[in-house]
């Protein structure tokens, strides 16, 4: 391994040093392929995480509320145009059961995620779900929403009903790629505007990108990191692009690779690690997409600097209909999956932050600086 690289990594661990990394250095770190070198990068990112946040990993119980979607994103398995998907929508009773399970397992937060819908019936349903969650937990549970683009009024209603974090992935910050990956009508500027609205309404704001999707370069990923930095983002949820064969992008990728699926696992870990070096105190999720590629993918995400996991609490009978991509792990009972995840985290020296919300440290500092 070159001593320059070791020096670069060692330097980046110091407080505030990530901010001094140049675009060229970020790109170089993102592009590491040698295993020994990558492990050095992950160790450094893990150190920064320990210093800024500690060894705890926060769990959010993920509730997949429904798969009806108004959008037709070319990569996504639940896009409106995919006729093969059986559409579902949870009832308030389903949400109650999932929330109670999260409470029983002593999770500090839940996430409500679904396809993008802006109709009033849905907006009001989410409001009711938020009120229910607040009642069930006596206001103790943190609630993240991941429900796409909405108007300021809707974001405000949901904030008032008890949501305090919002995850809206920008998917890519290169407008040319954005337009390649999405049909006409998906408005890049609106999506950025939504992130700004969410911040104005005092949400903890999360975003993220697909990693390794067609046409994307390391320079694009550097641009994404700079976007997170500029937008003063509190949370990041990002993962490797995975093929779903019933999508236009999935078809195109399979044809170009003689039917083989690409493996963006290492690149995704690199992106997590470099995001940690650069942004230091944000919450970073170790996403299900990592788990889809490796059985220990999420644990390796933690060792590369992530500090949040979103174990699935959705009713088992609907999980097969929430396939954003192929090979999404679905079949396991939440409590069993929970027990083995806690154990595997213990084995890597991470403890779970039970019973606490695990809010973004970056958000707390950002608010203090603004007051
Ligand atoms: N591969 C990886 N991630 C995907 N998502 C959607 N489709 C795919 C795919 N094929 C992600 C998007 C979206 C999130 C809910 O799931 O980034 O924001």
Q: Output the tens digit of pLDDT for each of the chain's 371 residues.
A: 788 999 999 999 999 999 999 999 999 999 999 999 999 999 999 999 999 999 999 999 999 999 999 999 999 999 999 999 999 999 999 999 999 999 999 999 999 999 999 999 999 999 999 999 999 999 999 999 999 999 999 999 999 999 999 999 999 999 999 999 999 989 999 999 999 999 999 999 999 999 999 999 999 999 999 999 999 999 999 999 999 999 999 999 999 999 999 999 999 999 999 999 999 999 999 999 999 999 999 999 999 999 999 999 998 888 888 888 888 887 677 888 889 999 999 999 999 999 999 999 999 999 888 77
Ligand 1 pocket test: pick from 67, 182, 325, 327 the residue with the most ligand atoms within 8 Å of its Cβ. 325
pTM (two decimals): 0.97
Residues 6+ positions from 104 with CB-CB distance below 8 Å: none
Q: What is the dihedral of CA 268, 269, 272, 276, to 10 degrees?
A: -160
Measured in angstroms, how far is the CA atom of residue 69 from the centroid of ligand 1?
Answer: 13
Q: For the chain, how many helices (H) and strands (E)?
A: 15, 11
pLDDT of residue 331: 62
Residues 6+ positions from 123 with CB-CB distance below 8 Å: 150, 154, 157, 158
Measured in angstroms, how far is the CA atom of residue 105 from the centroid of ligand 1?
Answer: 27
Residues facing residue 236 across a β-bridge = 207, 284
Take atom 7 of ligand 1 and give the residue whose Cα is closest.
76
Measured in angstroms, how far is the CA atom of residue 311 from the centroid of ligand 1?
Answer: 16
Q: Is the dihedral of CA 300, 303, 309, 311 positive or negative?
A: positive
Measured in angstroms, how far is the CA atom of residue 88 from the centroid of ligand 1?
Answer: 18
What's the DSSP call for residue 304?
T
Please tell me the distance from the alpha carbon of residue 57 to that of residue 284, in angstroms, as a whole number: 10
Measured in angstroms, how far is the CA atom of residue 324 from the centroid of ligand 1?
Answer: 6
pLDDT of residue 367: 87
CA-249 nearest atom, ligand 1: 10
CA-208 nearest atom, ligand 1: 17
- Quickly tell me which residue has 């690149």 as its tokens: 267
Residues 6+ positions from 30 with CB-CB distance below 8 Å: 218, 221, 222, 267, 270, 271, 274
Ligand 1 pocket test: pick from 65, 74, 75 the residue with the most ligand atoms within 8 Å of its Cβ. 75
| Rg for the chain, CA atoms, rounded | 19
Strand positions, DSSP E, the chain = 56-66, 109-114, 142-146, 165-167, 204-207, 210-211, 235-236, 239-240, 283-284, 308-309, 351-352
Tokens of 366: 């950002």
Q: What residues does ligand 1 touch, defined as CB less than 6 Å away?
A: 75-76, 169, 171, 210, 239, 241-242, 244, 289, 324-325
CA-247 nearest atom, ligand 1: 10
pLDDT of residue 308: 98
Take atom 2 of ligand 1 and give the residue whose Cα is closest.
241
CA-113 nearest atom, ligand 1: 15
Burial call 83-99: b when 16+ CB within 10 Å, e when fewer: eebeebebeeebbbebb
Ligand 1 pocket test: pick from 64, 181, 210 the residue with the most ligand atoms within 8 Å of its Cβ. 210
Ligand 1 pocket test: pick from 76, 114, 167 the residue with the most ligand atoms within 8 Å of its Cβ. 76
Take atom 18 of ligand 1 and give the residue whose Cα is closest.
169
């Amino acid at each position: 391994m070159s001593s320059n690289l070791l020096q670069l990594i060692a330097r980046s661990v110091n407080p505030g040093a990530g901010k001094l990394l140049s675009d060229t250095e970020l790109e170089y770190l993102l592009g590491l392929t040698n295993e020994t070198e990558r492990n050095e990068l992950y160790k450094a990112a893990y150190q920064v995480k320990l210093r800024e946040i500690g060894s705890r990993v926060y769990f959010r119980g993920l509730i997949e509320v429904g798969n009806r979607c108004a959008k037709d994103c070319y990569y996504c398995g639940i896009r409106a145009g995919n006729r093969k998907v059986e559409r579902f929508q949870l009832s308030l009773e389903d949400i109650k059961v999932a929330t109670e399970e999260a409470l029983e397992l002593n999770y500090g937060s839940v996430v409500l995620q679904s396809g993008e819908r802006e109709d009033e019936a849905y907006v009001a349903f989410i409001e009711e779900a938020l009120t229910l969650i607040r009642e069930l937990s006596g206001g103790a549970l943190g609630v993240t929403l991941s429900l796409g683009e909405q108007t300021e009024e809707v974001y405000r209603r949901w904030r008032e009903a008890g949501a305090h974090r919002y995850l809206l992935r920008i998917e890519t910050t290169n407008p040319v790629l954005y337009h390649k990956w999405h049909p006409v009508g998906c408005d890049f500027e609106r999506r950025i505007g939504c992130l700004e609205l969410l911040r104005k309404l005092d949400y903890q704001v999360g975003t993220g990108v697909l990693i390794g999707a067609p046409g994307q370069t390391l320079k694009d990923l550097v641009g994404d990191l700079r976007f997170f930095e500029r937008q003063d983002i509190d949370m990041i949820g990002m993962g490797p692009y995975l093929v779903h064969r019933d999508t236009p992008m999935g078809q195109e990728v399979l044809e170009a690779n003689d039917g083989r699926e690409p493996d963006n696992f290492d690149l995704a870990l690199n992106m997590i690690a470099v995001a940690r070096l650069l942004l230091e105190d944000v919450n970073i999720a170790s996403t299900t997409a990592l788990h889809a590629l490796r059985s220990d993918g999420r644990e390796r995400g933690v060792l590369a600097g992530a500090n949040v996991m979103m174990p699935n609490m959705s009713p088992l009978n609907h999980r097969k209909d929430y396939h954003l991509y192929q090979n999404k792990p679905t079949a396991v009972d939440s409590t069993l999956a929970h027990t083995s995840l806690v154990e595997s985290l213990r084995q890597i020296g991470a403890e779970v932050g039970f019973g606490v919300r695990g809010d973004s440290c970056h958000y707390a500092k950002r608010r203090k600086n603004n007051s």
